[in-house]
Structure 1
């Protein structure tokens, strides 16, 4: 890893107030004070990469080709999934460092046309201890063809042992975008989401769905050790998500029964 690229190495004071703001955005009460262990995946609200507007792409993300992610000529970005390992608790109010690298970046041709696959790995360190390893799988693709048939999404299982219904609105998506410093316009710009990227509404963040599944799985008796997830269909902001759990499997089901996300949970 090169120290010459500032995108590869970031530090953050881990302000407790930011994690507490995420708790409120997720509809949860509680206080987070300096020294408290953060809930799993809350590092998403830290390590902002605050670029000027001139360095952003049309979608609101940092323009590709200027940092870790190469420009493969494909304008639409999607967070396809990821895998997290929780080695030690991250604590609020204690400075932490994130080291980022590209594990894979390649362009292929699929059934729907050219695709770009990028896998990033982030290591979160605090007080010389590796606390979290976070792998992100991104997919880049062409703009939608309005004449092409819509792919049939998979159907979700209905044999869960536990389930929670969660509703979203544009305010929740905006607040989550702000806290994670995610400028992707599909989450707050309805005209852009529908007219440019071809969605039926604002898109609920994949990481937000993963976050809710993690909080559902993480308990004092069985703290989360690892979590791997894959997005399989988008969920719109006006749809109720059913968060499901059965053993070490988790998934998100939309109102029409389609599967939006699957996950493997390791806790205890």
Structure 2
């Protein structure tokens, strides 16, 4: 560790079936998970918590940057911009697993709205001596929104999907997902903070929660081997979304037709 930033982090956790079932219930899934069963894809997000005492949290509820894997880039607003997943073998409920994480890249750029910091984390999840999941996690950091500033116009989503699925959100779902993933980011449950400090129109739906919906939709057709996703516009908790698929392409369309996420699935 140098200047408080870790080069690598290793965590172990038992893939508790009760926690997986709690997420399944929150998502309205009918199936249950017993010890020994394969976890649905991306359910590893509810394990390997990074619990920090209040004094080591930032204003946004996340662990302070510069104290763990994430360096302090001097940019206060954080967003999960996207990622990539490869599923090599199923994670089994009820058994111990290990997550190995490191910073793969840090880049500073100048965007239309000001400076941007991009941090890429690389994760491996092992269980029983076997590599089960590799994951790339893309985070972006930016300055506070200027008072009265305008947001970039979001891209328009495709409307040529072969299959679609409606997905609704509520403040309760966002709170439960935050609790199960131990995600303290206040934009997902503190509406006054989301509006007054970060400039959103309401509570922001988690990017991984949208990706989870797309993954479950894909998994209904066939097991998923790889999945890549990128967030393109925020979705608020009081907005219904349409999950769409055409071939290997998947996307999330907001109620006004804007594109909130794009993804590619390999099965």
Q: Determine if the TM-score, normalized by the shorter chain, exceeds 0.5.
A: yes
1:6 to partner: Cα distance:
9.7
Q: What SS class does the counterpart of residue 225 from structure 2 fall into?
A: strand
* 1: CA distance, partners of 2:33 / 2:194: 34
Contact 1:7 1:49 in 2 (8 A): no
2:7, 2:102 within 8 Å by CA — same for their partners in 1?
no
Distance, in Å, in 2 between the alignment partners of 1:178 and 1:222 is 29
Taking the aligned partners of 2:124 and 2:218, their CA distance within structure 1 comes to 22
- Contact between 2:62 and 2:185, CA under 8 Å: does it hold in 1? yes
Aligned mates of 2:41, 2:7 — CA distance in 1? 25
Task: Specify the alignment match of 1:77 in structure 2.
Answer: 78
Deviation, structure 1 residue 137: 0.2
The residue that corresponds to 1:196 in the other structure is: 197
1:39-118 correspondence to structure 2 within 5 Å: 39-118=40-119
Rounded to whole Å, the distance in 1 between the matches of 2:47 and 2:150 is: 39
CA distance in 2, matches of 1:116, 1:264: 24
CA RMSD of aligned residues (A): 1.6
Residues 1:234 and 2:231 aligned together: no
**5+ long unaligned stretches in structure 2:** none
1:145 aligns with 2:146: yes
CA pair 180-77 structure 1, distance change in 2 beyond 3 A: same
Deviation at 1:5, TM superposition (A): 4.9
Q: Alignment length, in residue pairs?
A: 265
Distance in 2 of aligned mates of 1:146 and 1:261 = 26
In the alignment, structure 1 segments of 5+ residues that lack a partner are none
CA distance in 2, matches of 1:222, 1:33: 21
CA distance 1:166–1:225, shift in 2 (3 Å) = same
Q: Output the TM-score relative to the length of structure 1.
A: 0.96
Measure the CA separation in 1 of the matches of 2:106 and 2:26. 33
- Report the counterpart of residue 173 of structure 1 in structure 2: 174
Do the aligned partners of 2:117 and 2:140 also contact (CA within 8 Å) in 1? yes
Deviations 1:158-207 (A, max 9, x none): 00011111111100000000000000000000000000000000000000
